[in-house]
Structure 1
Amino acid sequence: MPLNRPSTTVATILWGALYLVAAIVSHRLNGPVDMTGYIWLPAGVTMAAFMLRPYREWPGLGAAFAVAQLALAAIEHTNPAHAMLFVLDEAGSAALAVALVRLARVPLEGLYFVRAMLVAGAVSALLGALFGAAWFAWSQGGAFGHVLRIWAASDFLGVLIVTPVLAAWSRFRAFRSGGTDRTDFLLGLAAAIALALSAYVIFDGNSDAKFGDGIGFALTYVPLFFAVVVALLWGGRGGSMAVLLLTLVALTQTAEGDGPFAVLDHHYGQSLLEAQLYLGIAALLVLLVSALKTTREQLHEQSAQWQNRVELALATSGQLVYTIDPASGRIDWGGDVVLVFGHDATSMASISTVLQLVHPDDRDALRARWLGETALDDGAAMPARRQTLRITARDGTLHTVVDTGGPLMDAVGNMALVTGTWSVETAL
């Protein structure tokens, strides 16, 4: 246990530093505000911290956030007591929301993480906004509904923008991805450069003056496309960096009064909320794409591992499994045909080629077994579930094989598939 304390302490300090940096950036982008700001990125930091770290670290995280908020108050020359009330409201509501999600036993992985983040973010934003709006209404005579709406929106959008980025770099398996080959790396780099250039062109300056009325807003979909491409090629972490890059460009330019969102609404705060909503959707889109991509890769890897285990078990036990398509006569083998008989897979890929390797005395019985050529009206019995036959190996050796299997019928009684196993018992 003592070995974990230094790393936990360092992680807690880093969370506090990240909170402080996000708070400073939010204050700089907000500019002069009345009661509550329109951007509060630390909401995403607190949400990510409580979702990614165990319960035992929560008190330390709360203390780190309190210290960061006090440091911000010293930098901004604001009231320390108000800062403590604020961080208690924000961190407390985030912790309570995450605790409720965990009590519901929602897995914090993959697509479940997305759902948990949305639910916890909405609950946290609403709880924090309720207490904050009540405080401003009581202490400063503010409009409760106005403060509630802006506070809840800024907190929820802060979660949408920041939490997916931190989750992508977390320990969760859902966002881990394997190495990237050179082609994917170069294509992802080209997409990242295209994202940066397109975002700068679209969000810099007056969009209506450059592109015409409404065209600038439509062009905001272009960076989203490149962000998704980066996520597909570089995985969740690369996609999160693409979203972070888009966030820096979009929020900085919107805060300066540039870009399509500043043109849509001349109200400064409303423009920031619109830009954050756009960025939140971008973050969710990349998060979903990366989660689906990584989940699919994990399923393929698990399937390949399971197939390898089965192949090894069959090879060790001297067994083969087969599946036959009656219409084409094609045989798909499971197991190492080369190891057992010495024949390559292509020479045993059809009923006709396999029958050529079967001993003549056993050939008709196997043909009837596989092709269903034994007719009941001829008075012949149906093939038994087990049949012993002899197979000629590549070196001329006769192997005694026990065939266990038979046909699978469809709903109308027609043969749909023939499946079974071959167990090699002796070599003559």
Structure 2
Amino acid sequence: MKSNNLVAPLAWAVVYFLFGFASHELNGAFIASGYIWLPAGITVGALLLTPTARWFPLLVLLVAAQVLLGWIEQRELWRMMLFSLDEIGVAAIVVWLVRRAPFPMEGLFFVRGLLIIGVSASVVSGIFGAAWFQLTQGLSFLQTLRIWALSDLVGILIMTPVLAGWSQFRATRSGGIARTEFLLGLASFVAMVASAYMAFDSHIDRLVFDVQFSTTYVPLFFIALVTLLWGGRGGALSVAVLSLMAFVYNSLGRGPFVELVQLHSSNALLELQVYLAVASLLSLLISALKTTREQLHEDVARWKNEVELSLSASRQLAYTLDPQQLVFTWSGDVEALLGSPATQLHTLDQVLRQVSPLDQARLRQRWLDGDDGDERADMPFRLQDGGAVVLDSSRSLLDAEDRLALVAGVWRFSDKAQDTAEGRGV
């Protein structure tokens, strides 16, 4: 195996180890499953970003990173191997199955695929892990499953979009950011950090607004703004920064979630996990919808350019006429064929002035007579100069009350029409 093929898997293993160590530090002492497990997102991101043919060294090094992490934590080697096969093996199977699906992993499809991977991998690995701890240590199956599955799911929702958005695997298709959008996004990002500080490590909200827990909603608003302005990458980065701040403050015993659990028997980290899962899903959905809209606009613009080019090459003009407002909408090279820009051929009277006086009445009647759209013969007519012959092919559309609603058609210009247009200096 070439050494350069090991660089990326080794880098993933290092990142896995670092985030695993950080998760252990944020968790503190625990008996079975930790409340935070960010390497789950590293595993899913690495598998999505790596071709299937190169998975073997990646999986081996990820397992090695987990074993090394367990050795530092003074855990048994065989238990770490079982844990690795459960966490990493299940994630690999689920990602492999999702990658075989026919839909592309972008936009809303990316959100759907990520949710399928996250829920499936976290629940399946949690079932195996909870069953093991129940058999070996007599721990509650449902409680261990709840903690295991939620920590894996949140780790996937937090880390995978960041890795996907800032690598060659693109969850969104976004172009360059305009200067105004960049500055507004930067201001929103700074406001998100400031509001997160206010919510988790400040008493300003209590002193000024006489509230505490409600300020945790404010960072979600700014995450939504960052995602709208910066796209999926900015939104994922905002969620990651919010998660880091929230986890650190929570581990230090600060923040509303710590005080909230003092009122009832719950766990602050579990409360925080749900909060961050909602933040990540909010960012993902906004990014996906924004991407879908931008892609739709790109497709429409590309289709319009193709139609315009085809009409221009075949010396044709397509039009629609609103019979109520008597205004035209043109497609094609209007100025080259008629000698006037489309902006000067907007109303019916302006268009008819381009037609020979002998044909104006016939053409007006053809457009406004209210036919029901059945097949009718094409109508030849001449332009104002009398030299160019144009063939009009048009149909009418009636509404539910048999009133004329729309007229659409095509003007086909003969070679003689083109020569006349060129003679006018077009």
Q: What TM-score results when the alignment is normalised by the length of structure 2? A: 0.90
- The 3-state SS of whatever aligns with 1:357 is coil
TM-superposed deviation, 1:115: 1.7
What is the CA-CA distance between 1:329 and the residue it aligns to? 1.0
Structure 2 matches for 1:15-414, cutoff 5 A? 15-103=12-100, 105-204=102-201, 215-266=211-262, 270-372=267-369, 384-392=376-384, 396=385, 398-414=387-403
Partner SS for 1:36: coil
- Counterpart Cα distance in 2 of 1:268 and 1:22: 29
**1:320–1:423 contact (8 Å) kept in structure 2:** yes
Map of 1:377 onto structure 2: none
Report if the CA contact (8 A) 1:326-1:417 is conserved.
Answer: yes
- Taking the aligned partners of 1:363 and 1:200, their CA distance within structure 2 comes to 72
Conservation of the 8 A alpha-carbon contact between 2:396 and 2:407: yes
Q: Is the 8 A contact 1:19 1:42 kept in 2?
A: yes
Q: Distance in 1 between matches of 2:69 and 2:164?
A: 25
CA distance in 2, matches of 1:69, 1:27: 12
Q: Residue in 1 aligned with 2:10?
A: 13
Q: CA deviation at 1:112?
A: 1.7
Q: Is the 8 A contact 2:158 2:236 kept in 1?
A: no
When residues 174 and 163 of structure 1 are mapped into structure 2, their CA distance, relative to the original with a 3 A threshold, is: closer
Could you tell me which amino acid in structure 2 is paired with residue 407 of structure 1? S
**Contact map agreement 1:257 1:268 (CA 8 A) in 2:** no
Superposition RMSD in Å: 2.5
For residues 311 and 255 of structure 2, what CA distance do their matches in structure 1 show? 64
| C-alpha separation in 2, matches of 1:140 and 1:346 | 80
SS of the counterpart of 1:327?
Answer: coil
In structure 1, list runs of 5 or more residues that go unmatched: 375-381
Equivalents in 1 of 2:342, 2:136: separation in Å? 82
Partner SS for 1:219: helix
Equivalent residues of 1:43, 1:90 under 8 A apart: yes
Gaps of 5+ in 2: 421-426
Relative distance call for 1:65 and 1:200 in structure 2 (3 A) is same
Q: 1:153-190 CA deviation, whole Å, 9 max, x = no partner? A: 21122222222222222434441311111111111111
Contact persistence 1:44–1:161 (CA under 8 A): yes
Instruction: In structure 2, give the amino acid aligned to 1:281.
Output: V
Counterpart AA for 1:254 = N
**Separation (CA, whole Å) in 2 of partners of 1:268 and 1:56:** 48
Distance 2:102 2:314 in 1: 42
> Residue 81 and residue 369 in structure 1: after superposition, are their counterparts in 2 closer, same or farther (change >3 A)?
same
Bigger shift: 248-257 or 382-391?
382-391
CA distance in 1, matches of 2:236, 2:86: 28
Cα distance in 2 between the residues matched to 1:183 and 1:66: 45
Q: Match of 2:168, SS?
A: coil
Which has the larger displacement, 315-324 or 137-146? 137-146
Task: Give 1:17 shift.
Answer: 1.6
Provide the C-alpha distance between the structure 1 equivalents of 2:347 and 2:206, rounded to a whole number of angstroms. 70
How many residue pairs get aligned? The number is 414
TM-score (norm 1): 0.90
| Alpha-carbon separation, structure 2, partners of 1:410 and 1:77 | 78
TM-aligned CA distance change 1:309 to 1:99, over 3 Å: same
Distance (Å, rounded) in 1 between the aligned partners of 2:200 and 2:227: 22
Tell me if structure 1 keeps the 8 A contact 2:327–2:346: yes
Asked if the contact 2:198/2:204 (under 8 Å) is kept, the reply is no
CA deviation after TM superposition for structure 1 residue 48, in Å: 2.2
Task: Tell me, in whole angstroms, the C-alpha distance in 2 between the residues paired with 1:58 and 1:8.
Answer: 11
Point out the more displaced range, 101-110 or 250-259: 101-110
Cα displacement (A) at 1:317: 1.4
Counterparts of 1:106 and 1:310 in 2: how far apart (Å)?
28
Contact 2:9 2:58 in 1 (8 A): yes
* C-alpha distance in structure 2 between counterparts of 1:242 and 1:94, whole Å: 25
- 1:424 partner amino acid: F
